[in-house]
A and B are shown apart, each in its own frame.
Chain A
Amino acid sequence: MKNRLCGVVVIAFLFSSQANAQKIMGVVVEKDNQGKDQPLAGANVYWLGTTKGATTRENGVFLIDRFEGSNKLVVSFVGYRPDTIDVADLTNLKIEMKSDQFLQEVVVEGWKPSTNVNLASGINMIEMNEKELFKAACCNLSESFETNPSVDVAFTDAITGTRQIQMLGLAGPNTMISVENMPGVRGLASSQGIQFIPGTWINSIQVTKGVGSVVNGYESIAGQINVELKKPQESDKLFVNGYVNQTGRSELNVIHTAQVSKKWATTFLVHGSARPIETDQNNDSFLDFPKGNQVNFVNRWVYNSNKGWLGQFSLKYLNDYKQGGQTGYDAEKDRFTTNRYGFEINTDRYEFVGKLGYQFPGKPYKSFGLQINGLQHTHSSYFGFNTHDAEEQYAYANLIYQSIIGSTFHKFKTGISFQYDNYKESIGQPQFNGAFFRFDRIEQVPGAFFEYSYDDLKKFSLIAGIRVDQHNLFGTIITPRLHLKYNPTETTTLRASAGQGTRVANIFAENSGFLASSRRLILSNQQTNQAYGFKPDQAWVYGFNLNQEFTLDYRPGNFSVDYYFTDFQNQAVVDWDASSTEINFYALQGKSFSHSLQAQVDYQLARRFDIRLAYRWLDVETDYAGGRLQRPMVPRGRAFINLEYKTKNNWAFDYTITRVGEQRIPGTSNNPPLRQLPPVSDPYILMNAQVSKDFGTRWSVYVGIENVGDFKLTNVIMSAEQPFSPHFDTSMVWGPVFGRLWYAGFRYRVK
């Protein structure tokens, strides 16, 4: 008996529970092919020799009145052997039904997640799950960081709608964006790529500030963002999401998962979106967003032999088309003319991703994994008369072996990798008999890495890694990285990291904003004959982080503060300042660095009411040809508030307020007086609001407003009325070009 307490009260309660003693309750189950009990609904339960009975419910449960004439209960179900039970003194039953057919041996092990290269907890990593991502329901990876104060998203120009993330005040490509720990948004995709991952495909995002693990390559400098897509073993059977906003942007996402056999499962992820309507809210005669459409498709397969072998592969295809510029631009008639200014960007991408892993039986710490990736990326674009065409063929293989040294306190990962990257790129004004340049290169980089980790499972952990890569164009790249974690108390975590990151900057793809301007391209102070003439960007990054959990008035909270210092040894400097009619690229001479200091508090103000407050201060400076300056278009300060309230009946309200501080605007002093901009932008406030409601377990509906305060830049395009004049420039963007925007959508899921 569970009733141990006594007293008048208890007796009264006992009485109420005894009132049902004339009933028998039971649950009817069957074993599924993984050996787990599953309820059997609709089974018939009746007293032997009578018609007195009941049917089991959805959950397999039946309730039946005791019957004086019999103690024998019959349970039957079509396709199963009937069962007769003597229930003399039983009141709670569990009946397992067996199929009529001879069952094959059951497989005991369930589907396991694939052998992801796990970033150990020693690294300062923020996990954003599906719930967090749902706070900003629109639309792709570039919009997923609205509730994350560590990642900024900035527009590269006023007409293409291209967004780039910033971490530690450093432009997007300094952050390595991986998809399931495989190279993701890089190379030619680094400018447009974050818009190629639909938000509803994402299962979770891990954000790491500073250098990451050496296992995944040498490229991360400012941080690492890893995106986990929905997987066959975890996703819903069917997921449908539709979205539309006031500019006519509409999206449809469908995710379908099927268990094909005991060992194979597959998921299809399909995305289609379109923005068919011209929108010019700030009346500068230029579309605020390009028109266009995107088709995006992934089919992934997972294999589990249940004997240690795990495998998965994905096929991906993407086509993205954008067209914009002046209102009424007709590409067929106006292309390469001065009738109207316009641009088109067309991206075509095929990709294959494969992973194979083997877990040694009985040794969960010992495994090896092979990751391979191959892709073909074609990018063709023009902006006015500026043409930029590029093609990339990429192949990557990474073999990882992990095991322990003596005990599981000491672990290591080691392996070899190979990267092949073939770029064919041309830029210039071929239609106009202007300058035209070709930049082709083939990178072949074999590498090897070793990473040791120690974890005493209580207070201290350490990850020390080194990798050596032999770059065919740039020589040997040595990448050391170290992460330390210490827990002085159960609620306090101190972390420190130091390490080096290296990457070959794709200077055109990463700074595509200048193409949509009349700025002349000038490359100078070149160091090599390879690539664009510059050695890879290389930086040391140091970070410190304190995290303190607390409880205030019985509710949980979290406080964290972190500081990161990035010190570039080499950099292809992008200089917008030397002249307002030029863009200069040259090798760094002197210093280039970034200091980032951020404090954040998360607290539950009341039950179901969460608040997140954050403030970040940045100092990002570079020695330009004209002297040391703050990096342009990087806000010095950013304050952030996120409020989230949920009701008991599944309404959710989300409100985010961001105050973006002053940003330095590149010098325009050599422009005519009317075409000059202030040296520093005004601070501004952006607010986003969203309401969502779940109906049952399948439907949820959301409505939101972006930029509630309707703050927008009105004459952000320089010489908008004369787009073919030498002062035309769309890249001087330090805020949104579009004001208040409402959107609505639904999600439907079948588990």
Chain B
Amino acid sequence: MKTNILLPILISLISLSTFAQTKVVTASIKVYGNCSMCKKRIETALDKAGIKKAEWSPKTKELQVVYNANKISEKQLHEIIASVGHDTDLVKAKDETYASLPFCCLYRDHDHKADH
């Protein structure tokens, strides 16, 4: 085990010089939602350590996210988004969470029932 002492030091030295440890990833994730309230909810949920930027467009439904892949995984991003009621193509929000979203945020396709 003692032979390994050098290794962490070496790694940290390398990382200091190359910033290998901060693996910044830019990703685009489709997140379903409607309005500016959704935007606020999604972006606030992603206001977490390890996420440098999160910007969601109500128009394109695309979330531009910049994060440190060593601190958070893309899967976790999907889970965070779903946990506040917004579906992604990977993770669906729980019905109970979705059902308590404000009216303007009800983004799922509700089958239109024609009136009488």
Is A bound to B? yes
A interface with B by C-beta (< 8 Å): 2-5, 9-10, 13, 16-17, 20, 23, 25-27, 38-39, 57, 59-63, 81, 83, 85, 90, 92-96, 98, 553-555, 607-608, 648
B100 / chain A contacts, CB cutoff of 8 Å: 57, 59, 61
Assess whether B44 is in contact with A648, with CB atoms less than 8 Å apart.
Answer: yes
B75 / chain A contacts, CB cutoff of 8 Å: 9
Give me 17 A-to-B residue pairs in the complex whose CB atoms sit less than 8 angstroms apart, sorted by A's number: A4-B89, A9-B90, A17-B94, A20-B95, A23-B95, A25-B95, A57-B100, A61-B106, A62-B99, A63-B95, A63-B96, A63-B99, A83-B116, A93-B111, A96-B115, A553-B52, A555-B52
| B56: Cβ under 8 A from any A Cβ | no
| B91: Cβ under 8 A from any A Cβ | yes
A92 / chain B contacts, CB cutoff of 8 Å: 108-111
Knowing A3-B89, A5-B90 touch, does A59 contact B102 (C-beta < 8 A)?
Answer: yes
Assess whether A59 is in contact with B106, with CB atoms less than 8 Å apart.
Answer: yes
- In chain B, positions 68-116 with a C-beta closer than 8 Å to chain A are 75, 87, 89-92, 94-96, 98-103, 106, 108-113, 115-116
Complex CA distance for A26 and B110, rounded to whole angstroms: 7
Closest A residue, CB atoms, query B53: A554
Beyond A2-B32, A61-B99, 10 additional pairs, beta carbon < 8 A: A2-B87, A3-B89, A13-B90, A23-B95, A25-B95, A27-B103, A81-B116, A83-B116, A90-B111, A555-B52
B106 / chain A contacts, CB cutoff of 8 Å: 27, 59-61
Knowing A93-B110, A98-B115, A648-B47 touch, does A25 contact B89 (C-beta < 8 A)?
Answer: no
B interface with A by C-beta (< 8 Å): 24, 26, 32, 44, 47, 52-53, 66, 75, 87, 89-92, 94-96, 98-103, 106, 108-113, 115-116
A608 / chain B contacts, CB cutoff of 8 Å: 47
Closest B residue, CB atoms, query A91: B111
A25 / chain B contacts, CB cutoff of 8 Å: 95, 98-99, 108
Closest 4 CB pairs of A and B: A94-B110, A17-B92, A39-B103, A59-B103
B92 / chain A contacts, CB cutoff of 8 Å: 13, 16-17
A4 / chain B contacts, CB cutoff of 8 Å: 89
Closest CB in chain B relative to A706 CB, distance in Å? 31
Closest B residue, CB atoms, query A97: B115
A83 / chain B contacts, CB cutoff of 8 Å: 113, 115-116
Complex CA distance for A732 and B116, rounded to whole angstroms: 79
Closest CB in chain B relative to A79 CB, distance in Å? 16
Closest CB in chain B relative to A655 CB, distance in Å? 21
Closest CB in chain B relative to A189 CB, distance in Å? 38
Knowing A59-B101, A94-B110, A608-B47 touch, does A554 contact B52 (C-beta < 8 A)?
Answer: yes
Assess whether A57 is in contact with B115, with CB atoms less than 8 Å apart.
Answer: no
Closest A residue, CB atoms, query B64: A554
Closest CB in chain B relative to A661 CB, distance in Å? 37
Complex CA distance for A23 and B101, rounded to whole angstroms: 17
B87 / chain A contacts, CB cutoff of 8 Å: 2
Assess whether B66 is in contact with A85, with CB atoms less than 8 Å apart.
Answer: no
Closest B residue, CB atoms, query A41: B103
A interface: dominant SS: mixed
Assess whether A94 is in contact with B95, with CB atoms less than 8 Å apart.
Answer: no
A5 / chain B contacts, CB cutoff of 8 Å: 89-90
Closest CB in chain A relative to B110 CB, distance in Å? 4
Complex CA distance for A25 and B93, rounded to whole angstroms: 13
Closest CB in chain A relative to B69 CB, distance in Å? 14
Complex CA distance for A38 and B26, rounded to whole angstroms: 38
Closest CB in chain B relative to A434 CB, distance in Å? 63
Assess whether B110 is in contact with A27, with CB atoms less than 8 Å apart.
Answer: yes
Assess whether A57 is in contact with B99, with CB atoms less than 8 Å apart.
Answer: yes
Assess whether B89 is in contact with A94, with CB atoms less than 8 Å apart.
Answer: no
Closest A residue, CB atoms, query B88: A2
B101 / chain A contacts, CB cutoff of 8 Å: 59, 61
Closest CB in chain A relative to B101 CB, distance in Å? 7
Identify B94's interface contact among A20, A94, A98, A553, CB under 8 A. Answer: A20
Complex CA distance for A386 and B103, rounded to whole angstroms: 64
Complex CA distance for A60 and B104, rounded to whole angstroms: 10
B32 / chain A contacts, CB cutoff of 8 Å: 2
A3 / chain B contacts, CB cutoff of 8 Å: 89
Complex CA distance for A57 and B101, rounded to whole angstroms: 10
B96 / chain A contacts, CB cutoff of 8 Å: 20, 63
Complex CA distance for A51 and B109, rounded to whole angstroms: 28
Complex CA distance for A354 and B53, rounded to whole angstroms: 46
Give the most central of B89, B100, B106, B115: most A CB within 10 Å.
B106
Assess whether A60 is in contact with B103, with CB atoms less than 8 Å apart.
Answer: yes
Give the most central of B47, B91, B110: most A CB within 10 Å.
B110
Complex CA distance for A554 and B51, rounded to whole angstroms: 11
A2 / chain B contacts, CB cutoff of 8 Å: 32, 87, 89
Assess whether B53 is in contact with A94, with CB atoms less than 8 Å apart.
Answer: no
Assess whether B113 is in contact with A95, with CB atoms less than 8 Å apart.
Answer: yes
Complex CA distance for A554 and B46, rounded to whole angstroms: 15
A9 / chain B contacts, CB cutoff of 8 Å: 75, 90
B108 / chain A contacts, CB cutoff of 8 Å: 25, 92
A90 / chain B contacts, CB cutoff of 8 Å: 111
Assess whether B91 is in contact with A554, with CB atoms less than 8 Å apart.
Answer: no
A17 / chain B contacts, CB cutoff of 8 Å: 92, 94
B112 / chain A contacts, CB cutoff of 8 Å: 94
B44 / chain A contacts, CB cutoff of 8 Å: 648
Complex CA distance for A60 and B100, rounded to whole angstroms: 9
B52 / chain A contacts, CB cutoff of 8 Å: 553-555, 607
Complex CA distance for A95 and B44, rounded to whole angstroms: 31
Knowing A10-B90, A27-B103, A57-B99 touch, does A607 contact B47 (C-beta < 8 A)?
Answer: yes
Knowing A27-B106, A554-B52 touch, does A93 contact B116 (C-beta < 8 A)?
Answer: no
Closest CB in chain A relative to B7 CB, distance in Å? 30
B98 / chain A contacts, CB cutoff of 8 Å: 25
Closest CB in chain A relative to B92 CB, distance in Å? 4
Closest CB in chain A relative to B77 CB, distance in Å? 13
Closest CB in chain B relative to A604 CB, distance in Å? 9
Closest A residue, CB atoms, query B112: A94
Identify A85's interface contact among B99, B102, B113, CB under 8 A. Answer: B113
Complex CA distance for A555 and B96, rounded to whole angstroms: 35
Closest B residue, CB atoms, query A92: B110
Complex CA distance for A98 and B113, rounded to whole angstroms: 13
B89 / chain A contacts, CB cutoff of 8 Å: 2-5
Closest A residue, CB atoms, query B78: A13
Closest B residue, CB atoms, query A31: B115
Closest B residue, CB atoms, query A551: B53
A39 / chain B contacts, CB cutoff of 8 Å: 103
Assess whether B53 is in contact with A555, with CB atoms less than 8 Å apart.
Answer: yes
A63 / chain B contacts, CB cutoff of 8 Å: 95-96, 99
Closest CB in chain A relative to B66 CB, distance in Å? 5
Closest B residue, CB atoms, query A1: B89
Closest CB in chain A relative to B21 CB, distance in Å? 16
Complex CA distance for A90 and B112, rounded to whole angstroms: 10
